[in-house]
Amino acid sequence: MPETRPKRVLQLRFPARAGELKRVRDALRERLEGCGCSDKSCADIVLAIDEACQNIIRHAYRGESDQAIELEVERRGDRLVFTLTDEAPAIDPSRVKPRDLEDVRPGGLGTHFIRRVMDEVEFLQPASGRGNLLRMVRRID
């Protein structure tokens, strides 16, 4: 079925730096609008991807780095598939968990946002055998 053949929506490779994230958000927002996502969905997805990039900067690279983050977005029918890969030492996915929101404190919200916005979130083994690969899926609405 042609409509389920993956279609690349966006591919970006950028240094793991906070100052890069606005450019990533702007490019992503533009492509999401082109896919027919509602304004609310666009905003939610942009937030989730931004937070996933921040997690890579903070927890995988342990701070800003000139090493790369790669974002790839594919459309598969009515779903968008996002993959984020990095070249950092492998993290333990079991330690990347949303925290209890009843405990009101400053940090730890990013992973919660990702889980709330995305329909599927999973860490996979990168084909290169090194780094980390986060795959997220969100239905277009």
Partner 1 sequence: MEHAVREEQGNLVVSFRGEVDLEHSPKARAVLLGCVERGRDVFVDLSGVSYIDSSGVASLVEAFQASRKKGLKFALVSVNAAALRVLELARLDKVFTIHESLPEGDRGGA
Binding site residues, partner 1, CB under 8 A: 18-19, 21-22, 25, 40, 43-44, 46-47, 50-51, 54, 57, 101, 104-110, 112-113, 116-117
Minimum CB separation from partner 1 for residue 4, in Å?
30
The contacts of residue 31 (CB under 8 Å, 6+ apart) are: 9, 10, 73
Closest to partner 1 by CB, 95 or 105: 105
> What's the 3-state SS for 55-75?
HHHHHHCCCCEEEEEEEEEEE
Minimum CB separation from partner 1 for residue 46, in Å?
8
Minimum CB separation from partner 1 for residue 5, in Å?
33
Minimum CB separation from partner 1 for residue 37, in Å?
14
Closest to partner 1 by CB, 31 or 75: 31
3-state class (DSSP) for residue 32: helix
Cα angle vertex 82, ends 75, 53, to 5°? 150
Closest to partner 1 by CB, 50 or 87: 50
User: Is the distance from CB of 123 to CB of 80 less than 8 angstroms?
Assistant: no
d(CA 26, CA 20): 10
Closest to partner 1 by CB, 62 or 76: 62
The contacts of residue 105 (CB under 8 Å, 6+ apart) are: none
